[in-house]
Chains A and B, each alone.
Chain A
């Protein structure tokens, strides 16, 4: 095994001097807007990806110009909570230093900037730093932004769960000073490997690692799609521990059956004080056992499949020094957000705004970005980004409610949303994402208009259906956990997946391959007709598809997803 050639990223990490590489030199180069190939892998650990405007590739080639390179920078905002002051800083950066002039809320409760020229990266990172924000480990082979249910109603439980999300994020952050040196002009320190990365080591993890903390019955964080999930168990509104789940993940490759999406396995109940031990144990087993030869098979889900659940669990318990208890009973419910005003147990009000595609930008007649800025100027609570790419104005006093509502309404931030649209998400895709094979964010609103119309025609307009679209099978919008999943194959062509359940505890499965809009709508029309006529009481669309044998259920992803 030791002779086997590792994936190229492994050598890059080894040789990078703890993620430094030649990023500094790359920043200084005036003749290109890009980084070297090797550095393009390393910069992800610093929170950003190199992209180029794919709409312009050929045009610019003829113009003897290099591709229009820019960077997508994703911040690390554990649990998606930020202050109005931070938001104003974030907003200013978007306006002054990015060409997309927008803030994009992500499916992992953070925000990202698109269209950053290389020369502005440092200014942006320093600007975030001034707002006590950073982008360390927002991407790369490390523990990514930790999600946490932003439940504003159960405010006490949320506060406890959020505390853990933040602790997990901070504890598992890479320790290298590369970020501080390169971006914040901190002096370089001479350190040894142990001092540098006590948990990760010099090659970090084999692949990205995603964590979420869920507060039932909400499952907005889609906890089973994460590498490691903590499902809060409460007693009388107090946190008593977590059900730990592990081995979920969406990414797969078209046509490669050895790759597949998977939902996490239930491992058992753990006490709050053991949280960090278990998190570190799961992560280090993955660090040591994970596949470093084939990056397509390197996520934790494959490690568990390849080594077996029992062996993996035993090793985790051994490293944690604690055994799992039997999972506690919890109810996993809705993955959507509660739009509009809700009142929390703390008597404060919370306003959830639907942000289509997560894109906060000033549209003609709909100045969303300006509206958010105006809200931030007067809001006294906090903002919470949701995993459905929406935002909550949280902690509003009764006396401030009408003013907040007025501002939101005046800027097009209060909109009526159909039940399905409110449960649906799309990734960024074209033109910036280098992986995209088809449109998603730019096309999805129009597609949802057609789905809404179809539901209305069949009299099922009030039934929320989770619809998700991505431009590729990498799975940023978690399409394989959607009741209707659409995954891009080519411009205008998608694979249609069906059979996941509404709550997100069962995967979907390929129903039709490589079809265009007309066929997609025809298929959905026929299915909606059947569903409208034959559904049982309270039966969701995903469950109907399985019961009526439109599609076989996926119980064991490794066996069933391609089976």
Chain B
């Protein structure tokens, strides 16, 4: 629901009420909105009931999530829906929206959290994560909880954030309803199992009264939105290479028509894209492994050809450690077995290999069903949306870098980026919107924005600019962009030039790393412009970083600390506290991957 629509009810609500409602709903996902509407409708239809509830401590299940890419949130939402269907009064909320101290008011807590990079918590979980380890953390004797941790086992600190939460809650006296579940990249099955088990474990704690909400709340979830599980089949309008012909990179500007889907998104959101694997890759695998593509295999309760299973159902471009270990077993190859048993080596290995490399280099004899069982289900990829509906209406634009690496003389592509790059005009692409309320333009149009987006990280800032232009906001926008070469890799160059000319974009600082003897990156530009940047921050600017998490976001973070320390006259600790405050105030937002 938009603000405009809300204002139609202003006759019914007082100004403060309207304000509260607006704030409450502004960042909600369609699913959340649907749930809230169901919840409110149910409350209204039973006069007296809500009064009675507020009089005593209602038994409530709080589902907390800490999510960077939306997976944790997805699981949390699914759990909330199941719980509501089972008659629970559910409070579904992001960790970032919970005041840390409030945790002591909770009695039943389900917690879903992911881990990033070297054991780091997602942005919205940082505050609570730190709070629970601090001296201020309260006793939580009366709390019963369960943690579902998401992670990637190819990293050293697998599911570390989830482990931390589990440990910290237990240390504070809380009681685990279930042993913690750590999920790998293919989390779906394990996550579903956890939900079922958790609801069983919760059942004894349920109070009969809350049953009354069931029908209405469940009804709230039945809104027929397109979702990850139920994507919209959209039409691909354009896949245009936007790097020059001499570029080392192949980056595409992709335009997709959302047609009559009714899918809406806001600047900062991501688009989930389902894809099929490339025909050539499937053919290669089938042929290298000497299999019959027509052989029948079954996945869950579906029977289909091996060919179709590999094309549509199975992940072929990202290896898991378990797969390499299994492959090492199958092949009996000593070299591969050595790698598979060395965690560090394995981690590096899976980033430099795909299944097809394994199949070619370490041939094994494998049955079709065995192969399918070995592989993880294909999962959609998320792309930061590069457009605003204020500008492009029913379209959605993406900025997609084609992942293409040389492995033993073969070019191995990224699954989704290859699919989008090879897609032809008019082709169907299955998509859904993944909201990211932790990456939002400021509510106040007067607030300056500083956008740091090298490489494809520039995508959401194109959306920001489109939105601000449509909103008639002039200036107060500063973009840092970087890439290897000015002539070849200046993504959306002519558009930024227009925005500068019209004044929608006030400043643009660029770093082209390979155009001179020494490499220059955005963090260098940030430091060069430190004084001005500090002034912007002091004027209340919001900071946004989008792009590579591994190196760029960290280097930029360090550069920002330097700027704050040098130009704000602060110690290292004070600078860190300053940036932390910005983060807590939602003035320092990241969309990194």
Kindly list 13 other residue pairs between chains A and B, CB separation below 8 angstroms, not including A59-B245, A63-B244, A64-B492: A30-B509, A31-B496, A33-B487, A63-B243, A64-B253, A64-B495, A65-B242, A65-B487, A65-B493, A68-B244, A68-B487, A119-B486, A119-B515
B371 at the interface (CB under 8 A from A): no
Checking B486, B494, B508, B516 against A64 with a beta-carbon cut-off of 8 angstroms, the contacting residue is B494
Complex Cα distance, B245 from A59, in Å, reads 9
Given A31-B500, A31-B508, A68-B487: A63 touches B515 (CB 8 Å cut-off): no
B39 at the interface (CB under 8 A from A): no
Complex Cα distance, B253 from A61, in Å, reads 13
Given A66-B493, A119-B486, A119-B515: A31 touches B245 (CB 8 Å cut-off): no
Complex Cα distance, B89 from A174, in Å, reads 85
Interface string of A7-34 (1 = CB under 8 A from B): 0000000000000000000000011110
Chain A residues with Cβ under 8 A from B253's Cβ? 64
Interface string of A49-61 (1 = CB under 8 A from B): 0000000100111
Chain A residues with Cβ under 8 A from B487's Cβ? 33, 65, 68, 117
Complex Cα distance, B241 from A62, in Å, reads 8
Interface pairs (11), CB distance under 8 Å: A30-B508, A30-B509, A31-B493, A31-B496, A31-B497, A64-B240, A65-B244, A65-B490, A66-B494, A117-B487, A119-B515
Majority SS at the chain B contact face: mixed
Chain A residues with Cβ under 8 A from B241's Cβ? 63
* Residue ID in chain B nearest A32 by CB atoms: B497
B510 at the interface (CB under 8 A from A): yes
Chain A residues with Cβ under 8 A from B500's Cβ? 31
Interface string of B275-318 (1 = CB under 8 A from A): 00000000000000000000000000000000000000000000
Interface set, chain A 106-148, CB cutoff 8 A to B: 117, 119
How many whole Å from B248's CB to the nearest CB in chain A?
A: 15
How many whole Å from B324's CB to the nearest CB in chain A?
A: 39
Complex Cα distance, B486 from A534, in Å, reads 61
Contact A66 B497 (CB under 8 A): yes
Chain A residues with Cβ under 8 A from B515's Cβ? 117, 119
Checking B242, B486, B494, B508 against A117 with a beta-carbon cut-off of 8 angstroms, the contacting residue is B486
Contact A33 B486 (CB under 8 A): yes
* Residue ID in chain B nearest A123 by CB atoms: B516
Chain A residues with Cβ under 8 A from B243's Cβ? 63
Complex Cα distance, B497 from A32, in Å, reads 8
Interface set, chain A 517-559, CB cutoff 8 A to B: none
Chain A residues with Cβ under 8 A from B510's Cβ? 30-31
Interface string of B485-520 (1 = CB under 8 A from A): 011001111111100100000001110000110000
Chain B residues with Cβ under 8 A from A32's Cβ? 497
Chain A interface (Cβ < 8 Å from any Cβ of B): 30-33, 56, 59-66, 68, 117, 119
Chain B residues with Cβ under 8 A from A65's Cβ? 242, 244, 487, 490, 493-494
Complex Cα distance, B244 from A59, in Å, reads 8
* Residue ID in chain A nearest B510 by CB atoms: A30
Interface string of B198-242 (1 = CB under 8 A from A): 000000000000000000000000000000000000000000111
Chain A residues with Cβ under 8 A from B486's Cβ? 30, 33, 117, 119
Contact B497 A63 (CB under 8 A): no
Complex Cα distance, B457 from A546, in Å, reads 69
Chain A residues with Cβ under 8 A from B244's Cβ? 56, 60, 63, 65, 68
Given A31-B497, A119-B486: A63 touches B516 (CB 8 Å cut-off): no
Chain B residues with Cβ under 8 A from A33's Cβ? 486-487
Given A31-B497, A119-B515: A63 touches B508 (CB 8 Å cut-off): no
Interface string of B333-368 (1 = CB under 8 A from A): 000000000000000000000000000000000000
Chain A residues with Cβ under 8 A from B491's Cβ? 64
Chain B residues with Cβ under 8 A from A60's Cβ? 244
Chain B residues with Cβ under 8 A from A64's Cβ? 240, 242, 253, 491-495
Complex Cα distance, B495 from A32, in Å, reads 12
Given A31-B493, A33-B486, A119-B516: A62 touches B245 (CB 8 Å cut-off): no
Complex Cα distance, B129 from A102, in Å, reads 60
How many whole Å from B240's CB to the nearest CB in chain A?
A: 6
Most chain B CB inside 10 Å of its own CB: which residue of A33, A60, A61, A65:
A65
Complex Cα distance, B243 from A117, in Å, reads 17
Complex Cα distance, B241 from A64, in Å, reads 9
How many whole Å from B126's CB to the nearest CB in chain A?
A: 34
Complex Cα distance, B510 from A30, in Å, reads 7
Complex Cα distance, B244 from A32, in Å, reads 15
Complex Cα distance, B241 from A56, in Å, reads 14
Interface set, chain B 541-573, CB cutoff 8 A to A: none
Complex Cα distance, B510 from A33, in Å, reads 13
Complex Cα distance, B500 from A119, in Å, reads 20
Chain B residues with Cβ under 8 A from A61's Cβ? 494
Complex Cα distance, B245 from A65, in Å, reads 11
Chain A residues with Cβ under 8 A from B490's Cβ? 65
* Residue ID in chain A nearest B515 by CB atoms: A119
How many whole Å from B409's CB to the nearest CB in chain A?
A: 25
Most chain A CB inside 10 Å of its own CB: which residue of B240, B491, B494, B497:
B494
* Residue ID in chain A nearest B525 by CB atoms: A30
How many whole Å from A192's CB to the nearest CB in chain B?
A: 37
How many whole Å from A22's CB to the nearest CB in chain B?
A: 16
Complex Cα distance, B487 from A60, in Å, reads 10
Complex Cα distance, B510 from A119, in Å, reads 13
Interface string of B241-276 (1 = CB under 8 A from A): 111110000000100000000000000000000000
Q: Which 9 A-B pairs have the closest CB atoms?
A: A30-B510, A63-B242, A65-B493, A64-B494, A64-B492, A64-B242, A31-B508, A66-B493, A66-B494
* Residue ID in chain B nearest A99 by CB atoms: B487
Complex Cα distance, B83 from A299, in Å, reads 88
Checking A56, A63, A68 against B240 with a beta-carbon cut-off of 8 angstroms, the contacting residue is A63
Chain B residues with Cβ under 8 A from A59's Cβ? 245
How many whole Å from A67's CB to the nearest CB in chain B?
A: 10
Chain B residues with Cβ under 8 A from A62's Cβ? 240
Chain B residues with Cβ under 8 A from A117's Cβ? 486-487, 515
* Residue ID in chain A nearest B487 by CB atoms: A68
Complex Cα distance, B486 from A56, in Å, reads 16
Complex Cα distance, B242 from A166, in Å, reads 49
Checking B245, B492, B494 against A56 with a beta-carbon cut-off of 8 angstroms, the contacting residue is B245
Most chain B CB inside 10 Å of its own CB: which residue of A32, A59, A119:
A32
* Residue ID in chain B nearest A56 by CB atoms: B245
Chain A residues with Cβ under 8 A from B496's Cβ? 31
Most chain A CB inside 10 Å of its own CB: which residue of B486, B500, B509:
B486
Complex Cα distance, B242 from A222, in Å, reads 48
Most chain B CB inside 10 Å of its own CB: which residue of A62, A63, A117:
A63
How many whole Å from B492's CB to the nearest CB in chain A?
A: 5
How many whole Å from B220's CB to the nearest CB in chain A?
A: 43
Complex Cα distance, B244 from A31, in Å, reads 16
Chain B residues with Cβ under 8 A from A31's Cβ? 493, 496-497, 500, 508, 510
Complex Cα distance, B491 from A65, in Å, reads 7
Complex Cα distance, B492 from A31, in Å, reads 11
How many whole Å from B275's CB to the nearest CB in chain A?
A: 24
How many whole Å from B529's CB to the nearest CB in chain A?
A: 12
Chain B residues with Cβ under 8 A from A30's Cβ? 486, 508-510
Complex Cα distance, B486 from A65, in Å, reads 10
Complex Cα distance, B488 from A68, in Å, reads 9
Interface string of B9-25 (1 = CB under 8 A from A): 00000000000000000
Complex Cα distance, B490 from A446, in Å, reads 37
Most chain A CB inside 10 Å of its own CB: which residue of B243, B490, B510:
B490
Complex Cα distance, B492 from A32, in Å, reads 12
Complex Cα distance, B497 from A30, in Å, reads 11
Complex Cα distance, B340 from A209, in Å, reads 76
Complex Cα distance, B486 from A33, in Å, reads 8
How many whole Å from B46's CB to the nearest CB in chain A?
A: 56
Complex Cα distance, B244 from A377, in Å, reads 38
Most chain A CB inside 10 Å of its own CB: which residue of B242, B243, B491, B493:
B493
* Residue ID in chain B nearest A60 by CB atoms: B244
Complex Cα distance, B500 from A66, in Å, reads 14
